[in-house]
């Protein structure tokens, strides 16, 4: 059944029964006064929830008046009206004089939302008492304002919903064509428009209401629960600064009501009742409010609910994941046939590789060999794999062209390394690429490229930069600035070694002069290195006891882990299991490891707090994967994390989180 409808606005004032009342006192009103200004004060406080109001009680079941009994004579300023004035002043941080003084009158004159204040609970975020039963909510446009193109109104409402759904796990979709059975119907109306709450016109003495939105349906709902109405008598604008009333600000506020939020007394919050100009982003108070109703975002894969992205690969094969811009993810894996396969995701679309539809982009490599993938710009991808002949091969892509390596046309850029050895690739600028690999002799080799030149290592001319490590040991490489590179390898003695380079100098580790920075780990264990700022480096490794250890450096101070002083941050994992580490901001680090039970575990850190996983308190986020399987983790924005793993069935699985 379609929901009840209200009269569509025409841009003209409707029935004048409500607007004919006056709500804004002109002068000082205080105890003992009588007359028109007292009546106006009474009208205002009754309308917005501070005095008994039968209509509000019927429409908003959770609402309670601030003062339980109304004054017997609304034209006389008695103790009950004084109490209501004090409650109003208290609610909005005014001096509690009990008089309708100048600051109180100034606030009353400000444009505001027509939804009443729930004075009994007003404070930092307040919920309205009802909510949508699930997380899927629909909306439609009943009409549009003649002040703006319809497309502008539609994008404004969509943007407001997007902000709320970014803060809580709501899936909000538009039903086209003004569908009458949408949960929330958005429209523009003037005067008496059939919902029992007539608008008052632009800037009149009747309360200066801009819009109102009803809470989600509850007891006694008459078919308009969730609907949002905007006063067509106002002049609506989407420009900055607004040429009238800012529609994005008012829409964001009203739709908060439509999702179940009441007013907040936090003046800077979106859910503050009074309009004071453009306020287009949610505050911490607003976010806490919506999450108190619908919960926050958790990992999608908890309860072993990881999503399959398809594929047919070696069990536990390493996945390379790249985010070349916030709305794009690209995955790469070497299949059982030695070819490289890719699947990609673009915001608003599903993964291209679902239903085992991964695309082959050629190659002839050891099955499951690790692929080093790097995005040096939003429109460039470069891949590297060590082949069956020990040479390094590359394929590249740029926007508007296909992969260079299709039809098994990958290019050899030389080398003489262990078959399928793990490579590290770094893009320190948009025009510089550096590769690193540990050779058959335990030394680290490098080849580099810059725009306008070929790879330095062609013709097997890779340069040795020293070392004495297990053959093919993984090298962790990081560029903390465009002119700094840092390398890390776990040696034959279980200690971590480093070599560094900066523009104008050679590698510090040449002539086997790599520096030990301590540790006591499995020989050749895989390290994760993260540069969360230009002056901070963090290392992670899983030790012989299954615990994760860390050492950190910042400019001007030595590594914290020297003298075998690496810090344990807990865990209970396979010895030497790879740790996926990501810095989503300069003050946030997130770690992921696949445990002995095949589940993925995480620990996180933020500035000012300790690691969440200390005392073996790592959190399981589900899964059913090979013990210690390599994970790939990507932070495509400061509030988005995506994790990928190849399962026991050879399919790729993912779990994601949004802050």
**N- to C-terminal Cα separation, the chain:** 37
Q: Could you tell me the sign of the dihedral formed by the alpha carbons of 635, 319, 621, 609, in that order?
A: negative
Q: Which residues contact 508 (CB under 8 A, 6 or more apart)?
A: 499, 500, 501, 514, 515
Please confirm, yes or no, whether 254 is among the known catalytic residues.
yes
Q: Are 507 and 501 in contact (CB under 8 A)?
A: yes
Longest dimension (CA), the chain: 99
Between the alpha carbon of residue 110 and those of residues 115, 277, 393, the distances in Å are 15, 11, 67
Strands across the sheet containing 359-360: 320-325, 328-334, 340-346, 359-360
SS3 content of the chain, % helix, strand, coil (to 5): 10, 30, 60
- In the DSSP assignment, the letter for residue 29 is B
Question: Secondary structure of 116-137 in the HEC alphabet?
Answer: CCCCCCCCCCCECCCCCCCCEE
Q: Are 535 and 493 in contact (CB under 8 A)?
A: no
CA dist., res. 149 & res. 544, Å (int): 65
**Catalytic residue from among 18, 83, 232, 254:** 254
Give the DSSP letter string of 537-591.
EEEEEE-TTS-EEEEEEETTS--TTTTTTPEE------TT---EEEEEETTEEEE
Structure tokens at 179: 């569908």
Tell how strand 528-533 and strand 515-516 pair up. unpaired
Q: Are 244 and 234 in contact (CB under 8 A)?
A: yes
Closest to 629 in 3D by CA, of 366, 248, 306: 306
CA dist., res. 226 & res. 206, Å (int): 24
What number of residues does the chain have?
659
Question: Secondary structure of 246-311 in the HEC alphabet?
Answer: EHHHHHHHHHHHHCCECCECCCCCCCECECCCCCCCCCHHHHHHHHHHHCCCCCCCCCCCCEECCC
Catalytic residues: 254
């Amino acid at each position: 059944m379609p929901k009840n409808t209200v009269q569509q606005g025409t841009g003209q004032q409707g029935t004048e029964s409500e607007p004919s009342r006056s709500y804004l006192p002109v002068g000082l009103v205080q105890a003992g006064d009588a007359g028109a200004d007292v009546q106006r004060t009474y009208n205002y406080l009754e309308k917005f929830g501070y005095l008994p109001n039968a209509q509000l009680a019927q429409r908003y079941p959770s609402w309670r008046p601030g003062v339980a009994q109304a004054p017997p004579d609304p034209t006389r300023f008695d103790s009950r009206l004084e109490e209501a004035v004090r409650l109003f002043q208290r609610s909005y941080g005014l001096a509690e004089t009990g008089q309708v003084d100048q600051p109180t009158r100034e606030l009353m004159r400000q444009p505001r939302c027509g939804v009443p204040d729930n004075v009994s609970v007003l404070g930092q975020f307040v919920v309205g008492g009802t909510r949508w039963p699930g997380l899927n909510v629909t909306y439609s446009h009943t009409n549009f304002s003649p002040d703006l193109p319809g497309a502008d109104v539609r994008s404004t409402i969509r943007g407001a919903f997007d902000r709320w759904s970014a803060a809580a796990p709501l899936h909000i979709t538009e039903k086209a064509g003004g569908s009458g059975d949408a949960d929330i119907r958005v429209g523009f109306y003037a005067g008496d428009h059939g919902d029992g709450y007539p608008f008052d016109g632009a800037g009149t003495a009747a309360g200066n209401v801009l819009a109102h939105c009803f809470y989600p349906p509850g007891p006694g709902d008459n078919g308009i629960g969730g609907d949002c109405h905007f006063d067509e008598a106002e002049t609506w604008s989407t420009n900055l600064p607004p040429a009238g009333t800012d529609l994005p600000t008012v829409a964001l506020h009203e739709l908060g009501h439509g999702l179940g939020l009441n007013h907040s007394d936090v003046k800077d919050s979106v859910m503050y009742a009074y309009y004071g100009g453009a306020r287009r982003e949610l505050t911490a108070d607003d976010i806490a409010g919506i999450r108190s109703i619908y919960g926050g975002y958790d990992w999608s894969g908890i309860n072993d609910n990881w999503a399959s992205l398809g594929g047919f690969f070696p069990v536990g094969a390493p996945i390379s994941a790249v985010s070349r811009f916030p709305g794009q993810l690209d995955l790469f894996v070497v299949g059982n046939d030695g070819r490289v396969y890719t699947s990609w995701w673009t915001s608003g679309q599903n993964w291209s590789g679902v239903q085992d539809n991964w695309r082959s982009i050629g190659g002839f490599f050891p099955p499951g060999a690790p692929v080093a993938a790097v995005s040096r710009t939003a429109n460039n991808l470069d891949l590297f794999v060590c082949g069956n002949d020990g040479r390094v091969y590359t394929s590249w892509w740029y926007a508007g062209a296909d992969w260079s390596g299709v039809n098994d046309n990958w290019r050899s850029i030389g080398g003489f390394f262990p078959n399928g050895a793990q490579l590290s690739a770094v893009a320190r600028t948009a025009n510089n690429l550096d590769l690193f690999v540990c050779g058959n002799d335990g030394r680290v080799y490098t080849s580099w490229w810059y725009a306008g030149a070929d790879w330095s290592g062609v013709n097997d001319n890779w340069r040795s930069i020293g070392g004495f490590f297990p053959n093919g040991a993984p090298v962790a490489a990081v560029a903390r600035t465009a002119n700094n590179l840092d390398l890390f390898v776990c040696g034959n003695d279980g200690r971590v070694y480093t070599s560094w380079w900066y523009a104008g100098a050679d590698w510090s580790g040449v002539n086997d002069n790599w520096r030990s920075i301590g540790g006591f780990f499995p020989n050749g264990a895989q390290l994760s290195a993260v540069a969360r700022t230009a002056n901070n480096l963090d290392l992670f490794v899983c030790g012989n006891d299954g615990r994760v250890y860390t050492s950190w450096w910042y400019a001007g101070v030595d590594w914290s882990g020297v003298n075998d002083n690496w810090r344990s941050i807990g865990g209970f994992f396979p010895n030497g299991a790879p740790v996926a580490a990501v810095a989503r901001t300069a003050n946030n680090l997130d770690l992921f490891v696949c445990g002995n039970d095949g589940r993925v575990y995480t620990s996180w850190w933020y500035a000012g707090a300790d690691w969440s996983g200390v005392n073996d308190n790592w959190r399981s986020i589900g899964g059913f994967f090979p013990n210690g399987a390599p994970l790939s983790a990507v932070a495509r924005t400061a509030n988005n994390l995506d994790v990928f793993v190849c399962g026991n069935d050879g399919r790729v699985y993912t779990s994601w989180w949004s802050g």
